[in-house]
Structure 1
Amino acid sequence: MSTFRKRTRFSGRIAELNSMDSAFRDVSGGRQRCILLAAEAGGGKSRLVEEFTNRLSGRALILKGGCIEQQESALPYAPATGLLHELARLRGQSLIKSLVGCEGARELAWLLPELGELSERFDAGIARSRLFETMRKLFEELAREMPLVVVIEDIHWADQGTFDLLRFLTRRLMDIRLMLIVTYRAEEASRNALRTTIGDISLCEGSEVLQLRRLTYAEIAVQLEGLLGRPPKPAVINSVYARGCGIPLFTEALIDASGSLRANVTGSLNDYLLRAVREVPPSTGGLLKVMALGGPQITHSLLRSVTNKPDLDLVELLRPAISAGVLVPDRDGYAFRHALIHDAVRGDLIAGEKVAIHRLYADVLERGSVPSYRIWHSVALARHWHGAGQAERCLKWAWQAAGEAAAAFAYMDQMEMLKLVLAAWPEVENARRLIGADHCKVLELAADAACWAAEAEQGLAFVDRALAELDADRYGEQLAALLLQRAVMRQHSLVSGEIADLERALDHAVSPTRLRADALGQFSRALILRGEFNRAKRLGEELRDLAERLDDEEYRIEGMIIGAMLNMPPNASCIDAHRIVVGRAEQASTGRVEVLAGAALLQALLDAGEYSQIIDIGPAIFARTVELGQARYIGALVGAPLCRAYLDLGRVSEATETCERMAALDPLPLGLVHVFECQAEIAIVLGDVDRMAAAVSSLRDLPPGPQVANRMAANLRRYEIESRALAGDRDGSASLAKSALMFLKAQGGVSWPLMVSAMRVAVDTRQKDVVLELAELAGRAPRRNKVEDAENLEISAEMSRATASDINMWEAVSRSWADLNQPFRQAYALMQAGAAALNAAKRVHAARNFRQAFRLAQSVGAQLLSDQIEAFAAKARIDLRDGEDDCVGKAPFGLTDRELEVLRLIADGQSNRDIARNLFISSKTASVHVSNILSKLSVPSRGAAAAIAHRLRIVELT
């Protein structure tokens, strides 16, 4: 089977690798271990073994052998033969002969003829016993030299002799440095010989069974990134995960050599998937064809009705497919074990078979001879009548299913059913009369469903078809509805034309109706997104007036949402207003405004720095968004404040998990802005250069939409500055800091995070003009909340580093971030406070700050920041381990803390210049300290001062 294989990243299996590492440590200590590694076909057994053995890095002799699939019977002792070939290749035949002797070599010659003359065998039992003893002796001798790792793969294809050899070795080799790794397919474990062998071996001392699960969504994403060489798009991850079911081999098979997603699997993989199907009896194979058109899962009752077979007869037909691993029992029915097996069986059907089978299902479902499945029932009927070529019946059931799906917020199902209505329409003479709607109305509904399902490309196509059919003069309001749909899809796709559509929609929706209310609400939110608050306020006020005229609670609430969003800054009264709106929306039981209200509240809480409150209510709002079928549409906008709150509070793993859930929704570009920004923020905290570069690249690949142009421009500049700084590119980050200043001066708005990043880099790279201009900008910029107050204070503290870093200012910054419960930013401020304390010769003060900073950085997993703190502390000879702040002790002879530090360096033989560089002081200041030390110690030279320091143990020898 030919698949695209590019081994760049190993994904998942951390627990299994740890278990194997632990087993190898036991082996190195003289204890034999056996790992039984089970997984389904393609589950990654060989890849895990490869990863593990590669990590051993010359610490063991590794021999590999495998069983070979044969049509008739298993090849005798195939893995033992493979092991001997491998050993001969690595060490030579002469070594084998020297280890087992001439007699032993003749025994092994039955497996490896190159070892010489065959032993004469008269009794098969005795001959086998000799062979087993010779293999035992060979392994014992090899393990004396160094630990021996023996890998035997695919024992589900083994002969009985190999099974017996494995049992023998696991019982007779208990106290040698041998690690035996045996792999097999889990679905084959029901075979009697294999099951018995696994059971016997697993009971031996030192044996452990590792069952490889399928990879998770996040692990598949990592695997795909390795295959593609870039972060995969959420849509690609979703498709591969759904079709490949988390099986590593299938993931590789679904990506072609160019790194693109395959529309269809390769012929070789298809043959591989169908092999087990073709090996079952013909009657079972026929049943599998029927099941394939019933879906990935099918209930026993439906299958019984469709096949018209008694229960016991049906079970007998199903049993071979279950034994072969094609099907698995699934609650009250059966499921194909892999989605790709289901696809392969369905794809193997010819046209006539499909029509006949679809007709069987449709007849049974329409008779109602199986329990109703609500939406599924009508959806299934529409699909089966479509497959059976019955256009009128398909149209009837698809229209009913679309209505049911809309009522249940199943927008994707609604869109798919309306597509069937449109497909059947040309073949049904009385289509309009049959469903009570014209073709253009169906297109409008399909566009609306596509919009809510976040399928913008299809939705825009529906709108364009409808607009081409519509008489604008006669149907102005329908035109306005279509324009509103196109506007929201353009917004979420980050393409231009949205405002023009909204303006035109308002021109056509002139009557005081719900349609005009829709237009006013949508237009107001679009303007808020762009920062055009005055115009948004006017439209919001008109919406509130119209809602009262209509006496419509939904639009009253929407008007309140817009009013609360425009209520700046986000103080306590503003947040209270948002909470009131959320309560009204929940009581009104209107899903659309409930989600909008929840998203607005979370954003207000984020702007106000109320992170704990976000964590209290955010998960429920996110879950409600999914429940209401609006996850792809607005899920990322709801998830982003939650992710940022977790991150700011130092709960990085939960922030990462939330970000992954946002990405898994496969949002449109507007939602992806939030996903990639969250990824970048996580990368900053972790100090992860690769993650940051990937996030920046992903943001740059998004369409340059006018909806978030200013926001993206500011954030991209900040992330690029941070990316260059993380990578150690001093010149690049300096240039970007200067560019950020130009951008900030030209921009009407203010980006405090960008100013903070630019100021830090400008100070680090000694750009005095940039530092001064940034400070001037910050001094004029408005501050809306406690977060921006803290950022303003941090900018001032950064500026102080350009001359003499201010301890008090940095400690004030630290307190500000502590008040906001932001441990990462507090740790950075404490690090700078510690450095400032060192410059001021306040060693105890510095030690306290460094220790607290280090604990905070470690608690959030900020490795790069932890390393920076350790570097500062190491230069100052400060122990970061927990201890009392006065652990340094009082220096004798009246030496100050700073003089004691200088004396340590004198004792190390450092010059005044070296001392100045290490303690971040001038050479002149270092010279003054040295003179004071010589005077206090009453010695004439630096060498004498060093001798006293060592003799009296004033400083420790290094």
Structure 2
Amino acid sequence: MSQRSFGSPLIGRDDELGRLAAVLERARNGSGQAVLIAGDAGVGKTRLLDEVAARAAAAGAVVVTGHCVDLGDVGLPYLPFTEILGVLAGDGRFGDVLAAHPVVERLLGAGPDSARDADARLRLFEGVAGLFGELAATAPLLLVLEDLHWADQSSRDLLRFLLSRGVLPRRFAVLASYRADDLHRRHPLRPLLAELVRLPGVERLEVRRLADAEVTRLVRSLEERPLSEATVRDIVERAEGNAFYTEELVAAAGTDGMPTGLADLLLIRVEQLSETAQQVLRTAAVAGRRVGHDLLRDAVGLPEEELESALREAVGRQLLVAGDGDTYAFRHALAREAVYGDLLPGQRARLHGTYARLLAARGGGAETAAERAHHYRESHDLPEALAASLEAADHARRVGAPAEELRQLETALDLWTAVPCEARPTGEGLDPVSLTLRASAAAAHSGDAHRAVSLTRAALAGTGQDADPELAARVRYTLAGNLMTVDNLAAAFAYSSEALAMIPAEPPSRTWVWAAATHVMAARQIGDDDTALRVARQALEVAERIGATAARADLLISLARLEGGGRRTREGRERLREARELARSAGDTPVEMRALFSLAIGCFESGELRECLPWITEGLDRARRAGLMSSPYALEMRYLRLLVLYTLGQWDECVRVARADPAPGFAEGPVLYIALARGEPDVEDRARVLLGEPFDWMGTFVGGIVLTDAAGLRGDAEGAVARARDAVAVLSDELGRAPHVTVRLAALALAAVADRAAAERRGGGNAERWTGVSGELVELARATAAGQGPEGQAWLARAEAEWIRAASGPDIVAWEKAAAAFTDGDVYEAARVRLRYAEALAADGRRAEAGEQARSVRETAAALRAAPLLERAEALLRRSAAESSASPLTARERDVLRLLALGRSNRQIGEELFITGKTASVHVSNILAKLGAASRTEAVAIAYRERLITPEPTAQG
């Protein structure tokens, strides 16, 4: 592969070069490596990459480069990878390898139409990954991606796929650069970078600004004529360590009134060219960072000899550089931006129009549609821009790029009203409502549920009184489905009701069946199971009659929840298996994924955790093949997979899977649970991020659990109770029904309350003030645990035991019951409960049994590396050992003795310890016997002497 020529020396980059050389060496000798190279515009990222690429090529590596391009609101799907594959396809050495991976032809415009192929996106990703792996097997392969901050979402998705496959191919390296100063808070590259840097084999390198001494060396190496020391100092001061700015300042040195801005400096360089060269440069700037020779020639309208002379002049002045495939590129994006920004509005519009017409005349087809749409819009040719945007949307769908399809459809919708009726395209689905519905589906497929809702609402607003009833119904049930995704349940039910009422059940139609299926889901979500069951049975009969296979599958999934014991039973899961097969035969991947998720969650709810994993694996594999890894069911399955591993105590595997397949937001919740249990820093900050805008139900679910538990672990009972209450309030539905997670939140808050109450009792404080709070929390737990499976019942048993502990101290029977409930469930929570059980046993003097339980907890905590739990178990073992050797009294007897020392009667002792006066009397008798005391007073004296208790502090007046 030819490399771009460069004339400026590379100064001050020894550290960066050394680090990248080490990365390439590790890739050559082991698994692949990737480096994300960050730096401000002009700091020297491209020059550094050129040097590294040249050295790699000289050492025998295959080096291919792909560029991301800034085309404003136009997305070019997979642009840098298309460029890379085009270069490989043009090199005869790689013909056989490319032939072995024909799927990549889709990116080069030679593949079949895959708009209806649910597996196309994954096959494309696998094909690209396989191609790079095979190339790397024949020779070291260096993939360079420039200007990642301009990458389209599909390219970002493909990069994520390549880097998150666990281990990159041997002898394969990826270097990807981006402008750090361009990444505003909501830039779409930010979350991807956060995911990638956590992967094994991926690291980040920041290209720093040059030090003043290095800038001075660069100035001296660039000067073609002697510069005074004052001029050099001025350049160094003004360049602020930016290499490109330094070069431009050196080039402008000596001119009258040297400008202060970089753009003005660049324009001075341009104005030093001949008028013809300036014309070529301005024309090239409208094409973008890179332009082909033939296209530039036709756009500028110059004879070949004049064009070549002008190009030679621009290249000689280091404004353009010659690239692969008879193309020219601006040496730096900042130069192109300066030239483009200096064009008059009329010049821009005219040149954009020229490029649009040239691209259309060349018959580029769908592959150039997005580019044509951009040029037509900038030239204000709105009818052609509309047509090209719709063509680009079709192309994005064919290549499996839903985010780019969405952008093009939204652009088309913006243009629709501005284009005269007679100039608009016509045909099926070419109306604002249908296009908006299609855009909402693209938003849902790209994982933007809230955008899907707003687009469907826009479609609803566009349906007037004279709208086709079937289309109007479809809009409403689509909106209902999207609203359920964002947990707006009451509104979903209202819209699904409207949809069902708009079209008759007879004669039967697929639209009515789908409206009914959506209404069943909405009714079940708001608790109207009678309506859901009635409509589901009626719709299932109609679906069978008209052969609506996918809808029939969807209805079977709903019925599995509504009839009998639900999806936790074998009968329910048999229905779900039937639904899965029907959805698969109909080619309806979303319904198939719903069936697979239901099978997985049914196993989880019934406590069959290991049986859950195969269904999750199948579901995620299906989602990958369909390119739906960001869809709601896929995200919930990714969360569930990690949750099962967490629950089974396979924590290292859970973290490994999360790193290998990073998921956004709540889906990594179990990793947060592990981080909290292991005492890692910043866990609460990471959890708070999940509570931000826009509201996400599952994110709030995960964040509520983590923050409630974290408050309890640090002894903040008030904070734990507040967090639990807040989470329950936000997660409750419109009817005020608390979610199932309430029992867990209540139990975690009760643990903090019980700890505080116990501390109050030990210190002689007011433990009774927690009675009302603990009572409220246990009632919440009881109300929401009803009807839940083994997990919910285990959390209820724990809540009950914590409630008793808060009221009167540890109760052996309650903790024994809780420990038994967690036996086949959550390994970590079972250990936490067993520790409470051990504490209860120790308080009753049953130290041998307490030690056995505590040692078991210690073993589990050590295996999980749950340091805080390990410390508590070891502390209990030390305390029990010390008490066994130093005191003949049980913990309860020591509590009674402390109150004896304060002069309390048996009745008063019973009231303070929440036991009967008779029980208090028995404890007093046992104390007298064990201490050999004849009276209560003597027992207290012996206790002070033997240091079994210490005197209470007296108030200072």
The residue number in structure 2 matching 1:486 is 479
The residue number in structure 2 matching 1:817 is 822
Query: TM-score, length-normalised on structure 1?
Result: 0.56
For the residue of structure 1 that corresponds to 2:832, the secondary structure is helix
The residue number in structure 2 matching 1:514 is 510
The question of whether the paired residues in 1 share the 8 Å contact of 2:376 and 2:384 is answered with yes
Amino acid at match of 2:531: R
The residue number in structure 1 matching 2:599 is 601
For the residue of structure 2 that corresponds to 1:486, the secondary structure is helix
Q: Does residue 784 of the first structure (1) align with residue 788 of the second (2)?
A: yes
- Which shifted more, 521-530 or 836-845? 836-845
Measured after TM superposition, the shift of residue 558 of structure 1 is 1.1
- Aligned partners of 1:403, 1:741: CA distance in 2, in Å? 44
Change (3 A) 1:343 1:752: farther
The residue number in structure 2 matching 1:87 is none
The residue number in structure 2 matching 1:175 is none
1:398 to 389, 392, 399: 389
Summarize deviations over 1:401-436 as a string: whole Å, max 9, x none: 333444555333333333343455434553356555
Measured after TM superposition, the shift of residue 736 of structure 1 is 7.2
Change (3 A) 1:610 1:339: farther
Measured after TM superposition, the shift of residue 815 of structure 1 is 5.7
Q: Does residue 863 of the first structure (1) align with residue 816 of the second (2)?
A: no
The residue number in structure 1 matching 2:538 is 542
Q: Which residues in structure 2 correspond to 1:230-629 (within 5 Å)? A: 237-238=190-191, 351=345, 354-355=348-349, 358=352, 362=356, 365-366=359-360, 376-406=367-397, 410-425=401-416, 426-427=418-419, 430-432=422-424, 434-435=426-427, 437-453=430-446, 455=448, 466-467=459-460, 470-493=463-486, 497-510=491-504, 512-567=508-563, 568=566, 570-622=568-620, 624-625=622-623, 627-629=625-627
Percent of aligned positions with the same letter in both sequences?
19
- Aligned partners of 2:794, 2:298: CA distance in 1, in Å? 69
Q: Which residues in structure 2 correspond to 1:665-680 (within 5 Å)? A: 674-675=666-667
- Aligned partners of 2:643, 2:319: CA distance in 1, in Å? 44
The question of whether the paired residues in 2 share the 8 Å contact of 1:187 and 1:325 is answered with no
Figure out how many residues of one structure are paired with residues of the other and give that number: 682
For the residue of structure 2 that corresponds to 1:765, the secondary structure is helix
For the residue of structure 2 that corresponds to 1:560, the secondary structure is helix
Summarize deviations over 1:306-343 as a string: whole Å, max 9, x none: 99999xx99x9899999999999999999999999998
Measured after TM superposition, the shift of residue 553 of structure 1 is 0.9
Amino acid at match of 2:551: Y
Measured after TM superposition, the shift of residue 788 of structure 1 is 2.7
For the residue of structure 1 that corresponds to 2:39, the secondary structure is coil
Q: Does residue 699 of the first structure (1) align with residue 691 of the second (2)?
A: yes
The residue number in structure 2 matching 1:727 is 714
Query: TM-score, length-normalised on structure 2?
Result: 0.56
Change (3 A) 1:788 1:422: closer
Change (3 A) 1:442 1:186: closer
Measured after TM superposition, the shift of residue 505 of structure 1 is 2.0
Change (3 A) 1:394 1:810: same
Summarize deviations over 1:722-756 as a string: whole Å, max 9, x none: 34313322344467789999999995776431342
- Aligned partners of 2:729, 2:39: CA distance in 1, in Å? 54
For the residue of structure 2 that corresponds to 1:699, the secondary structure is coil
Q: Does residue 757 of the first structure (1) align with residue 748 of the second (2)?
A: yes
- Aligned partners of 2:694, 2:575: CA distance in 1, in Å? 34
The residue number in structure 1 matching 2:249 is none
The residue number in structure 2 matching 1:852 is 856
Amino acid at match of 1:827: A
The question of whether the paired residues in 2 share the 8 Å contact of 1:477 and 1:509 is answered with yes
Amino acid at match of 1:824: Y
The question of whether the paired residues in 2 share the 8 Å contact of 1:296 and 1:339 is answered with yes
Change (3 A) 1:416 1:540: same
Change (3 A) 1:192 1:367: closer
- Aligned partners of 1:328, 1:649: CA distance in 2, in Å? 59
- Aligned partners of 1:504, 1:761: CA distance in 2, in Å? 47
Amino acid at match of 2:648: L
Measured after TM superposition, the shift of residue 828 of structure 1 is 0.9
Measured after TM superposition, the shift of residue 559 of structure 1 is 1.0
Change (3 A) 1:444 1:343: farther
1:42 to 25, 39, 43: 39
- Aligned partners of 1:411, 1:363: CA distance in 2, in Å? 27
- Aligned partners of 2:354, 2:845: CA distance in 1, in Å? 88
- Aligned partners of 1:344, 1:389: CA distance in 2, in Å? 22
Change (3 A) 1:417 1:480: same
The question of whether the paired residues in 2 share the 8 Å contact of 1:298 and 1:334 is answered with yes
Change (3 A) 1:713 1:388: closer
Measured after TM superposition, the shift of residue 713 of structure 1 is 9.3
Amino acid at match of 1:501: Y
1:836 to 834, 837, 840: 840
- Aligned partners of 1:616, 1:491: CA distance in 2, in Å? 27
Change (3 A) 1:418 1:805: closer
Q: Which residues in structure 2 correspond to 1:906-945 (within 5 Å)? A: none
The question of whether the paired residues in 2 share the 8 Å contact of 1:680 and 1:696 is answered with no
For the residue of structure 1 that corresponds to 2:465, the secondary structure is coil
The residue number in structure 2 matching 1:638 is 637
- Which shifted more, 839-848 or 543-552? 839-848
Summarize deviations over 1:690-740 as a string: whole Å, max 9, x none: 53365357437555x9xx6xx999988766643431332234446778999
Measured after TM superposition, the shift of residue 557 of structure 1 is 1.0
- Aligned partners of 2:876, 2:802: CA distance in 1, in Å? 17
Measured after TM superposition, the shift of residue 498 of structure 1 is 3.1
- Aligned partners of 2:606, 2:319: CA distance in 1, in Å? 55
- Aligned partners of 1:722, 1:322: CA distance in 2, in Å? 66
Amino acid at match of 1:487: A
The question of whether the paired residues in 2 share the 8 Å contact of 1:277 and 1:285 is answered with no
Summarize deviations over 1:136-166 as a string: whole Å, max 9, x none: xxxxxxxxxxxxxxxxxx9x9xxxxxxxxxx
- Aligned partners of 2:192, 2:318: CA distance in 1, in Å? 26
The question of whether the paired residues in 2 share the 8 Å contact of 1:823 and 1:860 is answered with no
Q: Which residues in structure 2 correspond to 1:78-89 (within 5 Å)? A: none
Q: Which residues in structure 2 correspond to 1:210-249 (within 5 Å)? A: 237-238=190-191
Measured after TM superposition, the shift of residue 651 of structure 1 is 4.2
Summarize deviations over 1:564-603 as a string: whole Å, max 9, x none: 2335261333334323322332332222312322333333
The question of whether the paired residues in 1 share the 8 Å contact of 2:707 and 2:723 is answered with yes
Measured after TM superposition, the shift of residue 302 of structure 1 is 9.0
Change (3 A) 1:570 1:368: farther
Change (3 A) 1:327 1:486: farther
The question of whether the paired residues in 2 share the 8 Å contact of 1:569 and 1:785 is answered with no
Summarize deviations over 1:635-677 as a string: whole Å, max 9, x none: 4333332232232233446656777899965xxxxxx6x5596
- Aligned partners of 1:478, 1:579: CA distance in 2, in Å? 32
* Structure having greater relative contact order (Cα 8 Å, sep ≥ 6): 2
